Structure 1
Amino acid sequence: MLQLKKVESFYGGIQALKSIDVAVEKGEIVTLIGSNGAGKSTTLKSISGLVKVKTGNIVYNGREISNKPAHEVTLLGIAHVPEGRRIFPKLTVKENLLIGAFSVKNKHVVQERIEKVFQYFPKLKSRLDQKGGTMSGGEQQMLAIGRALMMKPDLLMLDEPSMGLAPIIVEQIFDIIKELNQEGITILLVEQNAYQALQIADRGYVIQTGEIRLHGYGHDLIKNEEVREAYLA
């Protein structure tokens, strides 16, 4: 479904990604793990068109998408939930969700998608007219994922969905990720909680200083001594 081939990206003169290769098959959960500054978020931003790719190729469903504008990447079926949620704090829950469906003209379809979001996150239904910025971190994360689901993506990219959340909320978020995957959405997950991510992932990649150091099945990486020492201790 998605393939990054020898991708290199820069922030000014600083190289963030160094010839990385990543593949995601349809129906998988694939996770990227690594320390802060390793290049995890830059990988997602490069896919979604927020960071320019200097060399290499990003191919989605057989189509080259390297350096496509972000809104065009979204219309192809790739939804990106960024680190830190990035909801619109002064807009209501409903307004945030409607922005997620910006390309959908049929109001009936939009309402159906809102109802589907409520099935995953029932708490949002009672907060429909509440401004996003007044909600808890966990509720904002639910809203950010819900907004992404409004476009009915084929590939959902999640950047640190557990960051700053209470353990019980983290469990809920990961349960939802598994449920979304079981319903047919392919997941590319960036997560510092390596153990939690590898537990639900089909496959994983370990990225360090912009380079892929290891990759393999999630259950194998959990047992890998290098991974355990660096990320699971």
Structure 2
Amino acid sequence: MLQLKNIETYYGGIQALKGIDISVDKGEVVTLIGSNGAGKSTTLKSISGLVKVKTGNIVYNGTEIANKPAHETSLLGIAHVPEGRRIFPRLTVKENLLMGSFSVKNKRVINERIERAFHYFPKLKDRLEQKGGTMSGGEQQMLAISRALMMEPKLLMLDEPSMGLAPIIVEQIFEIIKELNQEGLTILLVEQNAYQALQIAHRGYVIQTGEIKLQGNGFDLIKNEEVREAYLA
């Protein structure tokens, strides 16, 4: 479904990605793990068009998408839930969800997708008219994921979905990620909670200072001594 080949991305004169090669097959959960500043978020932003790629190719379902504007990549079926959730704090839960379905004109379809969001996150139904910025961090993460699902994406990219959340909420979020994947959604997951991420991932990549250092299936990476020492200790 998705292939990155020799991707180099810069912020001004600082090189953030140094020849990244990553692939995601349809139906997989693939995770990127690494320390802060390793290039995980930049990789997702390069895919979705939020930052410019200097060299390399990003091919999605046979189409070159490197440096396509973000609104075009979203219309192709790529949904990006950014680090820090980035909901619209002054809009209600319902208005945030409607923003996720901006390209859909059929009200019946929109309402069906809102009901589907309630299936995954029932708490949102009780918060429908509440301003997003007044909700807890966990509820905002649920809203951010639901907003992305309103697009009916083929590829869901999640950037640090567990950041700053209580352990019980983290468990709920990861259970939903597993359920979404079991229903056929392809997921590219960036996560500092390496153990949680590798437990649900079919494959994983370890990124350090903008380069892929290790790759393998999730179970093998959990057992890898280098990974255990750096990220699972």
TM-score band by shorter chain is: over 0.9
Percent of aligned positions that are identical: 85
Report SS of the residue matched to 1:91: coil
Distance 2:160 2:117 in 1: 20
* TM-score with structure 1 setting the length: 1.00
SS in 1 for 2:74: helix
Relative to the length of structure 2, the TM-score reads 1.00
Following superposition, the deviation at residue 181 of structure 1 comes to 0.3
Q: Please tell me the residue identity of whatever aligns with 2:105.
A: K
Q: Which amino acid aligns with 2:220?
A: D
Counterpart residue identity of residue 202, structure 2? D
SS of aligned partner of 2:124: helix
Post-superposition CA distance 1:14-54 (Å, at most 9, x none): 00000010000000000000000000000000000001000
SS of aligned partner of 1:32: strand
How big is each residue's C-alpha offset from its partner over 1:99-148, in whole Å with a ceiling of 9 and x where there is no partner? Answer: 00000000110000000000000000010000000000000000000000
What is the root-mean-square deviation of aligned Cα atoms in Å? 0.3
List per-residue Cα deviations over 1:154-207 (Å, max 9, x = no partner): 000000000000000000000000000011100000000000000000000000
SS of the equivalent of 1:187 reads strand
CA distance in 1, matches of 2:152, 2:27: 15
**Distance in 1 (alpha carbons) for counterparts of 2:232 and 2:127:** 36
Unaligned ranges ≥5, structure 2 = none
Distance 1:146 1:18 in 2: 33
Match of 1:95 in 2: 95
Report SS of the residue matched to 1:83. coil
**SS of corresponding position for 1:214:** strand
1:96 Cα deviation (Å)?
Answer: 0.1
DSSP 3-state at the match of 1:148 = helix
**Consecutive aligned runs of 4 or more in structure 1 exceeding 3 Å deviation:** none
Match runs of 1:20-31 below 5 Å: 20-31=20-31
CA distance in 1, matches of 2:20, 2:78: 20
Aligned partner of residue 74 in structure 1, secondary structure: helix
**Number of the residue aligned with 2:223:** 223
Partner in structure 2 of residue 111 of structure 1: 111
CA positional deviation for 1:225 = 0.4
